[in-house]
Amino acid sequence: MRTPLILAAALFAVAAPTVAQMPGAPDKARVTAGAYTVDTAHTQVHWRVNHMGFSMLDGLFGATGGSATIDPKNPAASKVAIDFDIAKSLTVTSPQFAEHLKSKDFFDVANNPGAKFVSTRIQPMGDHWMMNGNLTIKGQTKPVQLTVRFMGAGQNPMDKKKNVGFTATGSINRSDFGLGYATPVVSDKVDLTINAAFVAA
């Protein structure tokens, strides 16, 4: 008897289109100017902290919505806004740790279920962009700076819509957002990687 995993893989193989190569490519000429919406299924924040000097702890948040206005001929005029769900999408490898993170010691998701990033300035820097913006976590908004690199663009063979993706990296001090519990035993600095995918509106 086939396992559910094998059956799921077989169904996906039937449903998925046949393509000769990845449809997305790091070719900026493929990027179309205009309005985009966040692909919530493929946008996430990866975060990392140093735990007591013994190990690195990683976690994820998923996106719940957002938009972008992209102008490949004038990147500085582009704008991005992304909403993230903490209450529902916070993912770590320990259920107990997840519950602690959701408590008042950290994110207090009962009163602050989500987070939001809104860009304020995008500066082209050759092979990357510097993006400044406002990050809101736990009701507190602070300026952050991210290094953004173009991932790729093209037509998604599943829905025939134009897609574009970027990877952004940066760091914040969690104490700036009321998340300073257990510092400095656990690092105040949090390293962030945001993998963001957008679909043409």
Domain-located, residue 1: no
Domain-located, residue 184: yes
- For residue 174, give the amino acid letter: R
For residues 194 and 151, give the distance between their C-alpha atoms in angstroms, rounded to a whole number.
Answer: 12
Residue 140, domain extent: 31-200
CATH code, domain carrying 97: 2.40.128.110
pLDDT (tens digit per residue) in 26-64:
898 999 999 999 999 999 999 999 999 999 999 999 999
Three-state DSSP at 149 gives strand
Domain-located, residue 157: yes
User: Which has the closest alpha carbon to 81: 96, 70, 73, 97?
Assistant: 70
Domain-located, residue 112: yes
Domain-located, residue 10: no
The position carrying tokens 């760091």 is 171
pLDDT (tens digit per residue) in 170-196:
999 999 999 999 999 999 999 999 999
**Structural domain count, the chain:** 1
Q: What is the pTM of this model?
A: 0.86
